[in-house]
Amino acid sequence: MHFGVSNIIFLVVFITAIVLFAKRIMTITRNIKLGKGVDRSDNASERLSTMLRVAVGQSKMVVRPVSGILHILVYVGFIIINIELLEIVIDGALGTHRVLSVLGPLYDLLIASFEILAVGVIIACVVFLIRRNIIKLKRFWSKEMTSWPRSDANIILITEIALMCAFLSMDTADFVLQSRGAEHYHEAGAYPVASLLAPLFNGLSDSALVFVERFGWWFHIIGILCFLVYVTYSKHFHIMLAFPNVYFSNLKSKGQFNNMESVKKEVELMFDPNADPYAAPPPAEEGAVPEKFGARDVTDLNWKQLMDSYTCTECGRCTSNCPANITGKKLSPRKIVMDTRDRLEEVGKNIDTNGGEFKDDGKSLLHDYITPEELWACTTCNACTEACPVNIDPLSIIVDLRRNLVMEESSAPSELVAMFTNVENNSAPWQFSPTDRFNWAQED
Amino acid sequence: MSEPLKIKTMADCMAAGETPEILFWVGCAGSFDDRAKKITKAIVRILNHVDMSFAVLGTEEGCTGDPAKRAGNEFLFQMQAFQNIQVLNGYEVKKIVTGCPHCFNTLKNEYPDLGGNYEVIHHTQLIQQLIDTGKLKVEGGAFKGKKITYHDACYLGRANDEYEAPRSVIEKLDVELAEMKRSRANGLCCGAGGAQMFKEAEEGDKEVNIERAEEALELSPNVVATACPFCNTMMTDGVKLKEQEENVKVYDVAELIANANDL
């Protein structure tokens, strides 16, 4: 063991990253909890199996085979290579060399698979970069994909490639040092990729190799720790939220929209023959805020809709399947979700700067972020919810915002207002008399 | 087609002390839209042919509230639901077949929570059951050997996971069932859902029904089959706009069965 200054630096960096990460997680949790309640504690076993199938098993990713399979490569690579992180942390803290090599043949297998997966991750990320920046796939260049979302994606991909390169150069230098029988570098592990790369490093002296090995090690671990903090500010946060988000997703038929409880009470009262039409409303509870119909701002949405917004990784499958978007309308389900997240971040920062209390900023999700024109273009066809690989539900946000437009602002396209009047007066969306409803049976 | 249709209302049945096996929920389109009325009658002809005991609500039926709910008018939806549930529960209705996926979805999924609990099936599901139990014998007739493509209705397919019933019924006609590029869970909407039927589309490059009709026409089918009166309207309009109405007919699955078997 070589315990020294570097170990202390390592521990300081490590603890700092963990603290920053934890603080950010607490902020995101607080923001999600700004949403209204919705019960998703039922059917634990069905939820678990949905999570295993959709999130762990990536079942909806492979609907598009090219990106789906490449994504699985990166996903598996990421998870498996993180086992190596455990060793890196222990080595870093204690000054050991490849401490897990006590596992023997299993360790050889692990290192070998890490190396092969690392190559896979590099290939996948390069293909992803080409798809985004050279082929310029339409879904990565639509309107809401402004410079930050596009850069965010590229930063992630380039970082992943850099991390894998650092990992492989660390292994290669280590492998060469091991084969030279250098001090501290006892033989451990099997290196299918490093052994191929070894000729590149053969001309280097032992000390140069130690430098490369150490540099790769430091770059890899610091890179991963920076990445850990970065993802919490990035679309890439799906690597963590995908699992709970799928677990808590809607298990009911996609066609079933919730029946609003607040409306139910009013309608029951209207149809109750014993209700006193002149009765005063019950006194409001101390400090109670009158309930809004539908959603005007993010705090009118439920926590699951807010969790959806942090889970979205902006892949755009929803938008590229949306009939309105395909035919050139302004609606993009991805933009609905991104706007929800951006507004929620803004509200969260407002709360932080105003000592824990939201100070009215004169803005709202509806109108300032999402326009009625976008909302009215939706056919409620559920193509977006079907397409989402992590069961995000943009449609429920659209409907809640529509509810606010109609029931709070009394604003809807004039043809829809006419339809409402017809349903109310004639019990049909068109202007036909209800007494003619059965005429079809008599006609030829 | 010569035989007159036998249709009773729930009120008739109650007066006669009868309890029909199933209520046929016709829906607004099926009651008032000239094209959709033909689908309604095709369903009735099938029910008559198998001697099923059924009734309709007639003038006591009202909009389920689906378009109001999708457009954000929850008040209007719940008022419609409340009234319909009072009528349905008054007649002690147990089982409902609908001629429209929107009515189907609303009655099946959104009414129970408001006090309306019924077994609800879509007419393509009923036809499949009638064929499977041997009550309805189907032959291809005029459609034999023809190429038919089925357009999934969002509120039957994605909304309620029913992709197979309409397809298995069409296949019984001894036809070539061709699939569009976007079908089943990946099917493209006709453009009418979410109350779009009742308004002009927002500004864009294209109408959704044209996009979908073009996709269907790529297959050069003889028939585009639908299972929803609104899809039927949208696809008929789309085919017309592409000036293909002479070569490509748009029929509901119920019409295919009724017409093929001269019911």
**Is A327 close to B195, i.e. CB distance below 8 A?**
no
Mutate to test the interface with B, among A62, A63, A259, A270 (most CBs of B within 10 A): A259
- Does residue B183 form part of some domain? yes
Q: What is the CATH number of the domain that holds A394?
A: 1.10.1060.10
Question: How far apart are the C-alpha atoms of B120 and A256, rounded to whole Å?
Answer: 14
pLDDT of B69-114, one tens digit each? 999 999 999 999 999 999 999 999 999 999 999 999 999 999 999 9
Residues B143 and B244 in one domain: yes
Cβ distance of A267 and B82 shorter than 8 Å = yes
Sheet with strand B249-252: strands edge to edge: B176-178, B147-150, B223-226, B249-252
Which residues of chain A neighbour B184 with C-beta distances below 8 Å?
Answer: none
CA-to-CA separations, B127 to A96, B8, B95, B172, B255, in angstroms, rounded: 72, 20, 15, 11, 11
Tell me: do A234 and A299 sit in the same domain.
Answer: no
| Same domain? B108 vs B177 | no
Structural tokens at position A1 = 């063991």
The number of domains in chain A is 2
Which pLDDT does position A278 carry in this prediction?
Answer: 79
- When pLDDT is cut at 50, 70 and 90, the band that residue A93 belongs to is confident
Query: Is B11 part of the contact surface with chain A (CB cutoff 8 Å)?
Result: no
Domains identified in chain B, total number: 2
In this structure, the answer to whether residues B147 and B222 fall within a common structural domain is yes
- Domain match, A352 and A238 both: no
Q: Are residues B174 and B97 in the same domain?
A: no
Q: Are residues A338 and A205 in the same domain?
A: no
- Residues A11 and A156 reside in one and the same domain: yes
Among B128, B153, B180, give the residue marking a domain's end.
B128
On whether residue A253 sits in a domain, the answer given is no
User: Are residues A88 and A200 located together in one domain of the fold?
Assistant: yes
Same domain, A94 and A181: yes
Domain boundary among B128, B151, B183: B128
Of A46-50, A203-207, A264-268, B21-25, least confident by mean pLDDT is A264-268
Q: Considering only CA atoms, give the Rg of chain B.
A: 18
Residue A14 lies in a domain: yes
Amino acid B11 reads: A
Distance from the A401 Cα atom to the nearest Cα atom in chain B, whole angstroms: 8
Instruction: Give the single-character DSSP code of A368.
Output: I
Q: Of B78, B96, B128, which closes a domain?
A: B128
Residue A277 within any structural domain of the chain: no
- What length is written for chain B? 263
If phi > 0 it is left, if psi is from -120 to 50 it is alpha, else beta; for residue B52 that is beta
Asked if pLDDT for residue A266 goes beyond 90, the answer is no
> A131-151 pLDDT, tens per residue?
999 999 999 999 999 999 999
Q: Is residue B1 part of a domain?
A: no
Closest residue in chain A to residue B2, using alpha carbons only: A444
Asked if the structure places residue A374 within a domain, the reply is yes
Which tops the pLDDT comparison, A444 or B43? B43
Same domain for B109 and B25: yes
Q: Mark whether B18 and B114 lie in a shared domain.
A: yes
Query: Would residue A370 count as lying in a domain?
Result: yes
d(CA A179, CA B110): 70
pLDDT at A3: 60
Considering only CB atoms, A328 lies closest to which of B105, B113, B204, namely B204
B2 in a domain, yes or no?
no
Q: Which domain holds residue A385?
A: 261-267+292-434
Question: Do residue B101 and residue B155 come from a single domain?
Answer: no
Token match 């209390």: residue? A357
CATH code, domain carrying B150: 3.40.50
B231 in Cβ contact with B192 (< 8 Å): yes
Q: Residue A1: what pLDDT?
A: 45
Within this chain, do residues B211 and B170 fall inside the same structural domain, yes or no? yes
Q: Is B87 helix (H, G, I), strand (E, B) or coil?
A: helix
Is position A311 within any domain?
yes
Residues A303-328, mean pLDDT to the nearest whole number: 98
Are B223 and B248 in the same domain? yes
Q: Are residues B238 and B179 in the same domain?
A: yes
- Residue A213 lies inside a defined structural domain of this protein: yes
Closest to B206 (Cβ–Cβ): which among A256, A294, A328? A328
In a domain, B5, yes or no: no
Query: Does B71 contact A378 at a Cβ distance shorter than 8 Å?
Result: no
Do A194 and A327 lie in one domain? The reply is no
For chain A, what is the mean pLDDT?
94
Same domain, B151 and B39: no
**Closest in A255, A327, A434 to B205, CB measured:** A327
Does A442 map to a domain? no
A305 and A160 co-located in one domain: no
B221 and B160 both lie in a single domain: yes
From A256, A431, A292, A270, select the one nearest B80 (Cα to Cα): A270
Residue B43, in any domain of the structure: yes
Q: How far apart are CA A191 and CA A175, in angstroms?
A: 7
d(Cα A282, Cα A272) in Å, to the nearest integer? 17
Is the same domain home to A155 and A237?
Answer: yes
* Residues A74 and A207 grouped into a single domain: yes
Contact between residue B23 and residue B93 where contact means Cβ atoms under 8 Å apart: yes
Lowest mean pLDDT among A4-13, A429-438, B3-12, B196-205: A4-13
Q: Which two tokens stand for residue B24?
A: 């046929």
Same domain (yes/no): A161, A302? no
For B63, the closest of A399, A406, A428 (CB atoms) is A428
- Whether A407 contacts A293, CB under 8 Å: yes
Domain of residue B203 covers 137-260
Beta-carbon separation of B109 and A324 below 8 A:
no
Same structural domain for residues A238 and A341? no
